[in-house]
Amino acid sequence: MSAHDVEAAPACTLFLFGANGDLVKRLLMPALYNLSRDGLLDKRLRIVGVDHNPATDSAFAERLEAFMRERDKGEGATTHLDDKVWKRLAKGIGYLTGDFLEPATYQAIAERIENNRTGNAIFYLATSPRFFSGVVQQLGAAGLLDEANGFRRVVVEKPFGSDLASAEALNACLLKVMNEKQIYRIDHYLGKETVQNILVSRFSNGLFEAFWNNHYIDHVQITAAETVGVETRGAFYDTTGALRDMVPNHLFQLLAMVAMEPPAAFGADAVRSEKAKVIGAIRPWSKAMALKNSVRGQYTAGKQGRKKLAGYREEPRVDPDSQTETYVALKVMIDNWRWVGVPFYLRTGKRMSVRDTEIAICFKPAPYAQFRDSDAERPKPNYLKIQIQPNEGMWFDLQAKRPGPTLAMENVELGFAYKDFFKMQPSTGYETLIYDCLTGDQTLFQRADNIENGWRAVQPFLDAWAQGGEVQPYAAGEDGPEAADELLARDRRVWHSIG
């Protein structure tokens, strides 16, 4: 995010539950450092790690500093830690040793808030999902969600439930002790500049909005491809899988950005209402249709370049007979006026050939009649490609005549990469979201109905897979199983090439 003409967020005490986890070290603290670097944090901000491992304030701050100094590559990397910026941030770093489910922990939290004298507090649940309900109940029982003397907000990381029933139960638990305006269900994909730019591009350019419907768009593809495997997350991933991990949150949020109706205003309630409507309009497949319109894959041993890669079942802490999917491809339909008849194809997987998150919007092809008596090939459909990562930008391909005496067509691309037009500081994707939480802007956070609509759309696939279907093998380093190509081939379509 740019700090140009942006005021610093108000002072508060930010409690990081699960302070010794990877999320805090790899993403949250670097994001807070970047916000401090840009002058977007109040000097009175206090950051308090909460975890069961004993540590002092200074020891916790020193551990974080050591990690930051070693961090010289990867997403959001900073090549040089500015001592002045870090010292300013480190002054407000503290640590609280405590059990998440013990009332004494929350008494100590209350004392920290009182000592900071702002009354404002944010509780960030960077913990295992099994603690979400317990922590929130304890916060409510201790009176820490009462906003009489300042704002109180809770940030909840994904996965937000594991199916529709568990998501509904978690929402009910949260809403027993606080109201919806205090809940920030976070999806870090929505913090990426290109994702936010989808709305700006659609609704500020008449050229796009005029053609953004089923009269001109043939289909939409949304891809989130990863080259990494499950790494150290084998135990978690084997009980989760690609569908639960990626679809009802990340991919459906991208779908909502593409397919939502224009909001009445760019306020949180208006934007989130339109997103909830479009997710709610996803056609609920029968179990038979869910099986027909989905593919599950699991990577086997393979290689990337010359590097040999183990198969999923050989990964640490994974069941050697696991049927958990590491790849999923789905076809979904949105039953509303704008999108009726337009299929949305979603795919995500691990150990694919390249790292790429993109939206490819395929427009209906031009009539061929003008070229039927020539040697020209049939014109290819035009694609608008919105790449979220790694090379953020937008590209539109079109047909042009190749120079020469014959009528031959060539596919050319028009577009821009963010890095070529804007000066972009290194970021993790969390900067905008943390700043919005500090300032009380919920536009980029999910509301309860959005979460539940997402799980409602996914539930038929979960139910169908529980009763039948097979996981399809694909070699690590490839772009999914053959069955995923067949899913589109049935509709006489092909996947847009990634990368």
Task: State the CATH number of the domain containing residue 103.
Answer: 3.40.50.720
Is 496 known as a binding-site position?
A: no
What's the CA dihedral at 436, 438, 442, 445 to 10 degrees? 80
pLDDT number for residue 102: 96
The answer as to whether 395 is a domain residue is yes
Find out whether 192 is annotated in a ligand binding site.
Answer: yes
Domain assignment of residue 169, yes or no: no
Question: Considering the domain boundaries, does residue 435 fall inside one?
Answer: no
Radius of gyration of the chain (CA): 24
For residue 242, what are the domain limits?
190-425+453-490
Let me know if residue 447 belongs to a domain: no
Q: How many domains does the chain have?
A: 2
User: Is 294:307 a contact under the CB 8 Å cutoff?
Assistant: no
Catalytic residue among 4, 215, 219, 250: 250
- Which residues touch 25 (CB under 8 Å, ≥6 apart)? 64, 67
* Residue 188 is labelled as binding a ligand: yes
Query: Which one of 157, 181, 202 terminates a domain?
Result: 157
Domain identity same for 152 and 197: no
Among 113, 135, 157, the domain-final residue is 157
For the chain, 499 residues long, the average pLDDT of each consecutive 10-residue run is 73 96 92 94 95 95 90 54 91 96 96 90 95 97 95 94 95 96 92 83 84 95 95 89 94 95 87 95 95 97 91 95 96 97 98 95 78 60 90 86 77 84 79 95 93 96 88 96 97 91
Looking at residue 226, which CATH number applies to its domain? 3.30.360.10
Does 204 lie in the same domain as 142? no
- Per the annotation, the verdict on 52 as an active-site residue is no
Q: Judge whether 482 lies within some domain.
A: yes
Task: Assess whether 275 and 136 both reside in one domain.
Answer: no
Q: Is 382 a domain residue?
A: yes
Report helix, strand or coil for 131.
Answer: helix
Other CB atoms closer than 10 Å to residue 423's CB: what's the count?
7
Strands (E), 226-376: 294-300, 302-304, 307-309, 327-333, 343-349, 356-363
**Rounded Cα gap, residues 208 and 109, in angstroms:** 50
Taking a C-beta distance cutoff of 8 angstroms, is the pair 144, 13 a contact? no
Whether 350 has a binding-site annotation, put simply, is yes
Same domain for 142 and 199?
Answer: no
- Same domain for 111 and 259, yes or no, is no
Q: Is residue 5 part of a domain?
A: no
Q: What is the pLDDT of residue 76?
A: 47
Same domain, 129 and 49: yes
Say whether 245 counts as a known binding-site residue.
Answer: yes
| Ligand-binding site membership of 226 (annotated) | yes
In a domain, residue 143? The reply is: yes
